[in-house]
């Protein structure tokens, strides 16, 4: 395998890490105003992701940095092309990060309610927009022979991309509800179970619609052929099993299976994309690939050593983080800061 | 609409704003870690209270630094796609390493630190804050490795229509990094120490809260301020000499030195005319600029006109002069603020040693105002560094005009510029409100907070 493909895999891994981890904390943020009936509830809900959300978000920043380092043209085309959409994502992420830190620092109910809604918006928008962005990437967008995006903002909001956005949104919200059922106790846990059970069917419907639409709007599923391999089939099976595990109230298994759905679905999408990284709908020859968008072999080599030595360490201490805070969060939990 | 100009404004505003929060994060994490170390070593409760009091202020500031930093990472691609394509092979690497090595470290261990007071042993909890200090400051190192390539490009070759990395080691050992990083690291310490001094002075003046806490804080703050201000000035001096060698035009503009002089005079105060490139009014000290540049009484310092002619020969026709007024006054703002801070730190130490600090209420008031000084110095320092490099985005290699995204229209940039500016304005209000609230001594941490369920963060 060449270094270009290795880096494509690595960026796939970073996006998988991002959706696998940040997926549920977006979901928790989206559910916050609805599952938290009072201030104490809301603090429990936020505390369930308190020690994790910032570390989770870094998977995105690292994916962005890795794109820049390994595939500068991919980074340049996508970030300049999706300009206004990314402005929205940034506004959302700014409000979200600040809201987590600020909301409990003042007693005023108005202050708290304002920041709670910012957490909602800051989680809702990126969940939706990353779905829209990923769908656009597999659908193809107008790109000229100079690798520049020639469409506008509204191009990105085509029906299939919006379906993709809603699918991501539903999946992450379901994921967040299941996470809360796993991490909280008492009434909040009960509410989380109920919401998860309600969300499961719409999520399955959206995923089916997204895959069906994918056969029409993209080539990534058709490229997989009659025997699509273990990843997409596994993703489907995992998602179906979530319904069963919710029914028998096994939130641990429901969580693992939703995580598996997200991991395998992301893998499938990137597999279908390879070796392209941005598909040009103007002319397939103008698509960006792991070869024409990449850095020099020297840079890829240096960065491979860096990544191979650092990623396992990061995974190790993040796993330790989850281990330290593995217990359920309730009204008794606290912090001294 | 001029997309380039708007993109530059956006980069300037978002970067200066981001750097309001970064130095305090760098320095205050270190001071909080020192306080917690003292707590763990002595078991004295006062240090735990200090850790928590300053720790809360640190967290409020940290959040702002993190979220505004995301914009920084994205906007190279969003607004400067041609730049990203041209230097991505080199510039992307330190950014990716920054995320992988530093962002993960600081954000993960900060989460553990905030929530881990009861879950971890004292020693392990202490380790987590030191890892945050390490992560934050490593992040500064890697972004400055990237920035240093823009100031002094090394370890690259022009190939395939772009700059490609040929020597990763050269990027790391870029001489510019090793004057710039210590300068930024120390300015972080200075920012944090004046923050601690100012807030402690306020509470000592009002006699609010746990005065013992603020007396201890002042002691730590004044030592840090003295070490920081003196080192930052000494490193700054070396940095200036480095600038004379590598970016003489920046130094010429910072001094409003129109024509080469040997030995060169140092400008104390110049009102100049940028069009005719001449002084309207100037006070100068003969020979001093040569002394500062070379540590000796002789030596030519090149002037703007001479360098312009030299660059035209080397790079072709064009205007190679940065905005002189802004560069000149940024330099004076930075050095002036720095000088005042050295004096304040010295006098503060003198008062503390003679146990007279709390009687000198005028000095306590001055310390409150002095919180602003590091911010002035930090911002003007970066304006000097980045504006003084113009018209280049990468010195001698790529011009800013050629770096902008060709397909992002002026309207889109105007929209994002307005959105970011408004958003940042609102957040600044909320941030200052909270900092002011938690800076008051009667809002002291550890006063019965443990008994209230879910009190504190989140």
B239 and B287 share one domain: no
Best of B4, B20, B92 to mutate (most A CBs within 10 Å, chain A):
B92
Residue B231 scores a pLDDT above 90: yes
Q: Is A94 within 8 Å of B70 when comparing Cβ atoms?
A: yes
Report CA-CA distances (Å) from A79 to A12, B77, B203: 17, 5, 47
Query: Given B88, B110, B415, which is nearest A54 (Cβ)?
Result: B110
Provide the 3-class DSSP secondary structure of residue B144.
helix
Residue B27 scores a pLDDT above 70: yes
- Token pair, residue B181, equals 């990083």
**Which residues 74-113 of B are in CB contact (within 8 Å) with A?**
74, 76-79, 81-82, 84-85, 87-93, 95-101, 103-105, 107-112
Question: Is A65 among the domain residues?
Answer: yes
Question: Is A140 among the domain residues?
Answer: yes
Q: Region B285-308: what's the mean pLDDT?
A: 90
C-alpha B248 chain-centroid distance: 22
Q: Please give the residue that has the higher pLDDT: either A229 or B336.
A: B336
> How many domains is chain A built from?
1
pLDDT at residue B273 in the model: 86
The beta-strand segments (E) located in B348-415 are 392-394, 398-399
Query: Given A147, A149, A307, which is nearest B100 (Cβ)?
Result: A307
Helix axes B104-115, B45-79, angle to 10 degrees: 150
Question: Is A334 among the domain residues?
Answer: no
Best of A49, A54, A184, A294 to mutate (most B CBs within 10 Å, chain B):
A54
Question: How buried is residue A216: exposed, middle or buried, by Cβ count under 10 Å (0-12/13-18/19+)?
Answer: exposed
Q: Which residue of B has its CA nearest to A102?
A: B60
How many CB atoms sit inside 10 A of residue A20's CB?
18
- Token pair, residue B283, equals 């006070």
- Residue A287 and residue B86: Cα distance in Å, rounded? 19
Question: Is A272 among the domain residues?
Answer: yes
How many CB atoms sit inside 10 A of residue A337's CB?
21
Give the tens place of pLDDT for each residue, B364-380: 999 999 999 999 999 99
C-alpha A260 chain-centroid distance: 13
Query: Given B105, B412, B452, which is nearest A84 (Cβ)?
Result: B412
Q: Which range marks the domain in which residue B258 is found? A: 248-321
**Which residues 378-417 of B are in CB contact (within 8 Å) with A?**
405-408, 412, 415-416
Q: Region B204-227: what's the mean pLDDT?
A: 93
Report CA-CA distances (Å) from A230 to A264, A267, A269, B45: 9, 11, 13, 58
Q: Which range marks the domain in which residue A41 is found? A: 3-324
Question: How sure is the predictor about B35, in pLDDT bands with cuts at 50, 70 and 90?
Answer: very high
pLDDT at residue A216 in the model: 86
B66 and B191 share one domain: yes
B224 and B253 share one domain: no
User: Please, which residues have CB within 8 angstroms of residue A22's CB and are 6 or more apart in sequence?
Assistant: A53, A56, A57, A59, A60
**Segments in A36-108 forming alpha helices (H):** 39-49, 53-70, 72-81, 83-102
How many CB atoms sit inside 10 A of residue A302's CB?
20
Query: Given A53, A77, A102, which is nearest B430 (Cβ)?
Result: A102
User: Please, which residues have CB within 8 angstroms of residue A318's CB and are 6 or more apart in sequence?
Assistant: A55, B104, B108
B294 and B334 share one domain: no
Question: Is A157 among the domain residues?
Answer: yes
Q: Is A86 within 8 Å of B115 when comparing Cβ atoms?
A: no
Provide the 3-class DSSP secondary structure of residue B398.
strand
Instruction: Sort residue B365 into left (φ over 0), alpha (ψ -120 to 50) or beta.
Output: alpha
Question: How sure is the predictor about A153, in pLDDT bands with cuts at 50, 70 and 90?
Answer: confident
Query: Given B81, B101, B112, which is nearest A51 (Cβ)?
Result: B112
Provide the 3-class DSSP secondary structure of residue A1.
coil
Residue B453 scores a pLDDT above 50: no
B139 and B104 share one domain: yes
The beta-strand segments (E) located in B166-293 are 266-273, 278-285
Q: List A280's β-bridge partners, or say none.
A: A141
- Residue A304 and residue B130: Cα distance in Å, rounded? 28
- Token pair, residue B37, equals 């170390």
Question: How sure is the predictor about A230, in pLDDT bands with cuts at 50, 70 and 90?
Answer: confident
Give the tens place of pLDDT for each residue, A90-148: 999 999 999 999 999 999 999 999 999 999 999 999 999 999 999 999 999 999 999 99
Question: Is A329 among the domain residues?
Answer: no
CA distance B249 to chain A (A): 31
Q: Chain B contacts of A186, Cβ < 8 Å?
A: none
Q: Report ipTM (2 d.p.).
A: 0.93
Best of B39, B65, B115, B451 to mutate (most A CBs within 10 Å, chain A):
B115
- B443: contact with A, CB 8 A cutoff: no
Q: Region B407-430: what's the mean pLDDT?
A: 95
Final residue belonging to a domain, choices B321, B350, B385: B321
| Residue-wise DSSP of A270-297 | HHHHTTEEE-BSS-GGG-EETTTT---H
Final residue belonging to a domain, choices B321, B349, B370: B321
> Over pLDDT 70: what percentage of chain B?
96
> How many domains is chain B built from?
2
pLDDT at residue B1 in the model: 66
Question: Is A16 among the domain residues?
Answer: yes
pLDDT at residue A299 in the model: 96
- Residue A262 and residue B407: Cα distance in Å, rounded? 33
Q: Is B412 within 8 Å of A317 when comparing Cβ atoms?
A: no
Residue B12 scores a pLDDT above 70: yes
Q: Position of tokens 């904390």?
A: A25
Residue B275 scores a pLDDT above 70: yes
How many CB atoms sit inside 10 A of residue A67's CB?
27
Contact A109, B136 (CB under 8 A): no
User: CA end-to-end span of chain A, whole Å?
Assistant: 49
The beta-strand segments (E) located in chain A are 276-278, 288-289
B342 and B412 share one domain: yes
pLDDT at residue B458 in the model: 54
Kindly state the DSSP code that residue B243 receives in the 8-state scheme. H
B295 and B425 share one domain: no
Q: Region A247-258: what's the mean pLDDT?
A: 94
Q: Chain B contacts of A70, Cβ < 8 Å?
A: 92, 96
- Residue A186 and residue B40: Cα distance in Å, rounded? 37
pTM higher than the cut 0.80: yes
B286 and B397 share one domain: no
Cis peptide before B446 (omega within 30 of 0): no
- Token pair, residue B365, equals 């008031």
How many CB atoms sit inside 10 A of residue A166's CB?
19
- Mean model confidence pLDDT for chain B: 92
Q: Is A55 within 8 Å of B108 when comparing Cβ atoms?
A: yes
- Token pair, residue A76, equals 């340049």
Closest CA to B54 of B203, B185, B195, B207: B195
B174 and B50 share one domain: yes
Q: Is A321 within 8 Å of B119 when comparing Cβ atoms?
A: no
B292 and B339 share one domain: no
Question: Is A331 among the domain residues?
Answer: no
B232 and B337 share one domain: yes
> Over pLDDT 90: what percentage of chain B?
84
- Residue B79 and residue A90: Cα distance in Å, rounded? 14
Final residue belonging to a domain, choices B321, B351, B367: B321
- Mean model confidence pLDDT for chain A: 93
C-alpha B319 chain-centroid distance: 29
Helix axes B177-206, B361-369, angle to 10 degrees: 130
B237 and B302 share one domain: no
Residue B444 scores a pLDDT above 70: no
Q: Region B263-286: what's the mean pLDDT?
A: 87
């Amino acid at each position: 395998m060449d270094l270009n493909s290795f880096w494509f895999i690595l960026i796939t891994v970073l996006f998988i890490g991002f959706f696998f981890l940040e997926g549920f904390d977006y979901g928790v943020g989206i559910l916050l105003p609805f599952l938290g009936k009072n201030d104490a509830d809301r603090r429990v809900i936020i505390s369930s992701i308190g020690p994790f959300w910032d570390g989770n978000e870094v998977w995105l920043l690292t994916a962005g940095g890795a794109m820049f380092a390994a595939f500068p043209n991919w980074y340049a085309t996508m970030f300049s092309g999706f300009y206004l959409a990314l402005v929205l994502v940034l506004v959302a992420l700014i409000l979200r990060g600040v809201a987590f830190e600020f909301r409990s620092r003042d007693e005023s109910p108005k202050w708290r309610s304002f920041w709670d809604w910012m957490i909602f918006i800051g989680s809702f928008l990126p969940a939706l927009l990353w779905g829209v962005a990923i769908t656009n990437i597999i659908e193809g967008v107008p790109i000229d022979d100079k690798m520049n995006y020639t469409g506008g903002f509204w191009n990105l909001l085509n029906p299939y991309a919006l379906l993709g956005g809603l699918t991501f949104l539903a999946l992450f919200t379901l994921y967040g509800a299941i996470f809360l059922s796993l991490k909280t106790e008492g009434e909040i846990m009960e509410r989380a179970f109920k919401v998860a059970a309600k969300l499961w069917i719409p999520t399955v419907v959206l995923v089916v619609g997204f895959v069906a639409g994918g056969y029409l709007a993209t080539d990534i599923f058709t490229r997989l052929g009659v025997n699509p391999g273990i990843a997409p089939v596994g993703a489907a099976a995992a998602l179906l099993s979530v319904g069963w595990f919710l029914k028998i109230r096994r939130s641990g298994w429901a969580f693992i299976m939703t995580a598996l759905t997200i991991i395998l679905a992301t893998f499938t999408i990137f597999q279908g994309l390879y070796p392209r990284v941005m598909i040009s709908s103007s002319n397939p020859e103008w698509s960006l690939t792991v070869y024409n968008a990449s850095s020099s072999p020297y840079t890829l080599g240096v960065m491979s050593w860096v990544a191979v030595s650092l990623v396992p360490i990061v995974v190790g201490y993040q796993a330790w983080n989850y281990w330290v805070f593995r217990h359920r969060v309730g009204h008794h939990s606290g912090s001294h800061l | 609409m001029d997309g380039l100009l708007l993109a530059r404004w956006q980069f300037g505003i978002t970067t200066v704003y981001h750097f309001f929060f970064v130095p305090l994060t760098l320095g205050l994490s270190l001071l909080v870690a020192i306080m917690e170390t003292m707590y763990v070593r002595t078991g004295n409760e006062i240090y735990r209270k200090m850790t928590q009091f300053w720790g809360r202020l640190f967290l409020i500031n940290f959040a702002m630094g993190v979220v505004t930093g995301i914009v920084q990472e994205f906007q190279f691609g969003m607004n400067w796609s041609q730049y990203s394509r041209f230097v991505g092979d080199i510039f992307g690497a330190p950014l990716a390493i920054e995320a992988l090595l530093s962002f993960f470290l600081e954000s993960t261990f900060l989460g553990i630190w905030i929530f881990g007071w009861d879950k971890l042993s004292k020693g392990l909890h202490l380790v987590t804050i030191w890892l945050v200090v390490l992560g934050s400051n490593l992040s500064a190192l890697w972004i400055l490795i990237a920035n240093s390539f823009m100031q002094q490009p090394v370890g690259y070759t022009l190939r395939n229509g772009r700059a490609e990395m040929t020597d990763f080691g050269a990027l790391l050992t870029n001489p510019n990094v090793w004057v710039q990083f210590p300068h930024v690291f120390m300015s972080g310490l200075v920012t944090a120490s004046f923050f601690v001094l100012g807030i402690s002075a306020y509470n000592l003046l009002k006699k609010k809260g746990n005065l013992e806490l603020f007396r201890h804080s002042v002691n730590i703050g004044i030592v840090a301020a003295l070490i920081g201000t003196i080192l930052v000035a000494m490193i700054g001096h070396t940095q200036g000499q480095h600038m004379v060698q590598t970016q003489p035009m920046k130094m010429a503009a910072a001094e409003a030195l129109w024509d080469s002089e040997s030995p060169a005079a140092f400008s104390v105060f110049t009102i100049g005319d940028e069009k005719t490139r001449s002084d309207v009014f100037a006070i100068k000290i003969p020979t001093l600029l040569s002394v500062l540049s070379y540590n000796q009484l002789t030596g030519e310092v090149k002037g703007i006109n001479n360098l312009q002619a030299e660059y035209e020969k080397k790079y072709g026709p064009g205007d190679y002069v940065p905005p002189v007024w802004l560069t000149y006054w940024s330099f004076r703002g930075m050095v002036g603020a720095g000088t005042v801070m050295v004096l304040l730190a010295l006098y503060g130490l003198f008062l503390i040693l003679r146990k007279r600090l709390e009687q000198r209420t005028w000095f306590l008031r001055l310390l409150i105002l002095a919180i602003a000084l590091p911010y002035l110095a930090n911002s003007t320092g970066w304006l000097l560094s980045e504006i003084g490099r113009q018209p280049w985005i990468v010195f001698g290699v790529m011009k800013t005009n050629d770096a902008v995204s060709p397909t992002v229209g002026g309207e889109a940039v105007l929209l994002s510029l307005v959105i970011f500016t408004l958003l940042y304005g609102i957040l600044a209000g909320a941030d200052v409100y909270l900092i002011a609230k938690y800076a008051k001594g009667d809002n002291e941490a550890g006063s019965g907070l443990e008994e209230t369920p879910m009190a504190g963060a989140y």
